[in-house]
C-alpha cells in the first residue's frame, strides 16, 4: 500500500533565520510564527540558548514534523528542484567555496552512547542545491599543517536531509557528524591536539557561525526513482545512516507531486547501544504509519547477541534475513551500504557464505548486481 499523498499545513518547531541565512537570535524561546514562502509554520519552544549543542530532548523538535507528517505529508518548495535531469555536481570547489551559515547544532545521542554525534543544519540560502545521497565538503578554519599558508583540506560528509532540507524550503542541508576524539591508549586521557579538526569544529559550532562549503559531490548513492515501486535495502553503521534519512524523508514525509513511493524501504542500522540510535523517532514513526512500505532492523552490538552468542553486528542481522534479502535482490532490489569502511569485510564475508549455502557464486552475483546498478557503496 503506497503512503498517502495528501498535503496539508503542518505545525513544526523551527529556528527563525533571516534572508541572509543568519539566525536572528542565538536563543529562541516561546511561540514564533515563521513563514517560508507561501507556507505558515507555527513555532514551538526552542531552547538552544547559547549552548553549541542542545540536549537530547531537543530531538523532539525534529520529530514533531514526523508525527504530524505521518497523518498528512508536508508540502515542499520550490518544486523546480525536481525539474533538473541531472544532479548538481561540484557547484562550489575548494578554491572558491560557498560561505554558509550554521542554523543549529543538536546532540543526537543519549548519555550512555560511546562518543557524541550531532545533527547540524546549515543554511545555504538555496545556493548549493543537492540531491539525496550526495555529500557536502566542509573546509574547517585554520591552516593546513602539512602546507603552511594553505587552507585545511576538504572533509566530505554525507548529507542527511532531502533536497528541501529540514524546513522543507530548499534553503538548508543537514549533516550527521560524530565528534572524533583521540584518547591516549596508555593514560586513557584525551589528547585534544589529535582530535578530528573538522568534526570538532562542526560539533562546537553555534547558530550564526559561518562555514565554508564545497560540492555537492557523488553519484553512486543517488536514489533511483524511475521505478516508484522498487525495493531499497539500506545498510548503515553509525553516521552512515545520513543518506538514508534523506531517502526516507523523501519517501514518507514530503508531499512531492512527481514522486509517490509505493515500494519497500528496508533499513538495517548498526550502532553500539540504544542510546546510540540516530533518528530513531523518525524511523519508528514511518514504521507505524507505513508498515507495508517500511521495515526497520537494528543491530545493537553492546546489547544484543547474535545466533552464536557473540555481539550483534549489522552483518549478523543481514544473515538473519539473508534468504529474503537474496530473493529481493534477484527481483531487482537496490542495496546500499554506508558507514565506516571496516563494515564491508564482515558484510561481504556474510554475503559470500550465504551465497555458497544457496549454491551460488558470490563473485558472479556481485558482478551482476554491479552491472545492473543495484549495488551502491559509500564508505569512509
Confidence bin at 192 (pLDDT 50/70/90): confident
Domain membership of residue 250 as a residue range: 223-379
The confidence score (pLDDT) of residue 42 equals: 32
Q: Are residues 242 and 202 in the same domain?
A: no
- In angstroms, the CA 64 to CA 358 distance is 45
Answer yes or no: is 324 a known binding residue.
Answer: no
Answer yes or no: is 155 a known binding residue.
Answer: no
Q: Which residue in the list 130, 136, 157, 286 is annotated as catalytic?
A: 157
Split into its structural domains, the chain has a count of 2
Answer yes or no: is 322 a known binding residue.
Answer: no
pLDDT at 207 over 80: yes
Rounded percentage of the chain residues whose pLDDT exceeds 90: 74
The confidence score (pLDDT) of residue 189 equals: 79
pLDDT at 147 over 70: yes
Q: Considering 183, 216, 249, which residue would you say is the last residue of a domain? A: 216
The confidence score (pLDDT) of residue 183 equals: 82
The confidence score (pLDDT) of residue 218 equals: 97
Q: Are residues 111 and 200 in the same domain?
A: yes
Answer yes or no: is 161 a known binding residue.
Answer: no
- Residue 44 contacts residue 111 (beta carbons within 8 Å): no
Tell me the average pLDDT across 287-298.
97
Q: Report the Cα 286 to chain-centroid distance in Å.
A: 15
Answer yes or no: is 346 a known binding residue.
Answer: no
Q: Considering 190, 216, 242, which residue would you say is the last residue of a domain? A: 216
Q: Which residue in the list 158, 199, 217, 322 is annotated as catalytic?
A: 158
> Is residue 78 reached through a cis peptide bond, with omega within 30 degrees of 0 on the bond before it?
yes
Q: Are residues 275 and 359 in the same domain?
A: yes
- Residue 336 contacts residue 374 (beta carbons within 8 Å): no
Q: Is 338 known to be catalytic?
A: yes
Q: All 3 cell numbers of residue 51? A: 549552548
Q: Considering 216, 241, 256, which residue would you say is the last residue of a domain? A: 216
Answer yes or no: is 339 a known binding residue.
Answer: yes
Rounded percentage of the chain residues whose pLDDT exceeds 70: 81
- Residue 44 contacts residue 64 (beta carbons within 8 Å): yes
- Secondary structure (3-state) at 33: strand
Confidence bin at 259 (pLDDT 50/70/90): very high
Q: Are residues 231 and 368 in the same domain?
A: yes
pLDDT tens for each residue of 12-63:
333 333 333 333 333 322 333 333 233 333 333 222 333 333 433 334 334 4
The confidence score (pLDDT) of residue 184 equals: 77
The confidence score (pLDDT) of residue 182 equals: 81
274 lies in some domain: yes
Q: Are residues 375 and 237 in the same domain?
A: yes
- In angstroms, the CA 125 to CA 339 distance is 28
Average pLDDT, the chain: 84
- In angstroms, the CA 159 to CA 177 distance is 10
Q: Is 161 known to be catalytic?
A: no
Q: Is 167 known to be catalytic?
A: no
Answer yes or no: is 239 a known binding residue.
Answer: yes
Q: Are residues 119 and 176 in the same domain?
A: yes
Pairing of strands 334-339, 294-300: unpaired
Confidence bin at 9 (pLDDT 50/70/90): very low
Q: Are residues 235 and 375 in the same domain?
A: yes
Q: Is 321 known to be catalytic?
A: no
The confidence score (pLDDT) of residue 71 equals: 55
Neighbour count for residue 55 (Cβ, 10 Å): 13
- In angstroms, the CA 25 to CA 8 distance is 29
Q: Is 380 known to be catalytic?
A: yes
Give the domain CATH number at 284: 3.40.50.80
Q: Are residues 158 and 194 in the same domain?
A: yes
Answer yes or no: is 188 a known binding residue.
Answer: no
Q: Are residues 269 and 357 in the same domain?
A: yes
pLDDT tens for each residue of 61-91:
344 444 444 458 999 999 999 999 999 999 9
Q: Are residues 99 and 232 in the same domain?
A: no
Q: Are residues 181 and 234 in the same domain?
A: no
Answer yes or no: is 278 a known binding residue.
Answer: no
Give the domain CATH number at 171: 2.40.30.10
16 lies in some domain: no
Q: All 3 cell numbers of residue 27? A: 536563543
Which secondary structure element, helix H or strand E, spans residue 106, and what is its range?
strand 98-107
- In angstroms, the CA 258 to CA 326 distance is 30
Amino acid at each position: 500500500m503506497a503512503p498517502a499523498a495528501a498535503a496539508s499545513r503542518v505545525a513544526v518547531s523551527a529556528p527563525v533565520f533571516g534572508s541572509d541565512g543568519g539566525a536572528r537570535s542565538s536563543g529562541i524561546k516561546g511561540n514564533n510564527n515563521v513563514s517560508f514562502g507561501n507556507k505558515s509554520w507555527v513555532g514551538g519552544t526552542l531552547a538552544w540558548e547559547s549552548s553549541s549543542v542542545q540536549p537530547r530532548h531537543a530531538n523532539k523538535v525534529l520529530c514533531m514534523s514526523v508525527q504530524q507528517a505521518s497523518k498528512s505529508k508536508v508540502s515542499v518548495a520550490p518544486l523546480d528542484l525536481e525539474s533538473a535531469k541531472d544532479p548538481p555536481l561540484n557547484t562550489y570547489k575548494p578554491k572558491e567555496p560557498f560561505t554558509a551559515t550554521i542554523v543549529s547544532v543538536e546532540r543526537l545521542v543519549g548519555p550512555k552512547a560511546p562518543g557524541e554525534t550531532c545533527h547540524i543544519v546549515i543554511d545555504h540560502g538555496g545556493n548549493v542545491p543537492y540531491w539525496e545521497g550526495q555529500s557536502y565538503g566542509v573546509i574547517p578554519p585554520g591552516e593546513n599543517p602539512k602546507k603552511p599558508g594553505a587552507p585545511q583540506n576538504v572533509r566530505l560528509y554525507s548529507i542527511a536531509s532531502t533536497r528541501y532540507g529540514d524546513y522543507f524550503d530548499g534553503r538548508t542541508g543537514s549533516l550527521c557528524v560524530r565528534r572524533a576524539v583521540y584518547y591516549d591508549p596508555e593514560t586513557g586521557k584525551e589528547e585534544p591536539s589529535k582530535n578530528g579538526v573538522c568534526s570538532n569544529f562542526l560539533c562546537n559550532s553555534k547558530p550564526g557561525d559561518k562555514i565554508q562549503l564545497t560540492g555537492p559531490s557523488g553519484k553512486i548513492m543517488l536514489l533511483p526513482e524511475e521505478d516508484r515501486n522498487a525495493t531499497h535495502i539500506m545498510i548503515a553503521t553509525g553516521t552512515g545512516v545520513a543518506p538514508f534519512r534523506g531517502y526516507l524523508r523523501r519517501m514518507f514525509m514530503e508531499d512531492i507531486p512527481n514522486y509517490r513511493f509505493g515500494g519497500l524501504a528496508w533499513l538495517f542500522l548498526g550502532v553500539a547501544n540504544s542510546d546510540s540510535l540516530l533518528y530513531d523517532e523518525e524511523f519508528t514513526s514511518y514504521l507505524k504509519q507505513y508498515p507495508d512500505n517500511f521495515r526497520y532492523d537494528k543491530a545493537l552490538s553492546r546489547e544484543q547477541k547474535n545466533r552464536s552468542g557473540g555481539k550483534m553486528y549489522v552483518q549478523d542481522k543481514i544473515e538473519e534475513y539473508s534468504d529474503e534479502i537474496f530473493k529481493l535482490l534477484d527481483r531487482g532490489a537496490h542495496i546500499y551500504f554506508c558507514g565506516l569502511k571496516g563494515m564491508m569485510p564482515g558484510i561481504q564475508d556474510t554475503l559470500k557464505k550465504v551465497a555458497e549455502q544457496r549454491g551460488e557464486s558470490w563473485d558472479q552475483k556481485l558482478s551482476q548486481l554491479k552491472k545492473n546498478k543495484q549495488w551502491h557503496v559509500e564508505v569512509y
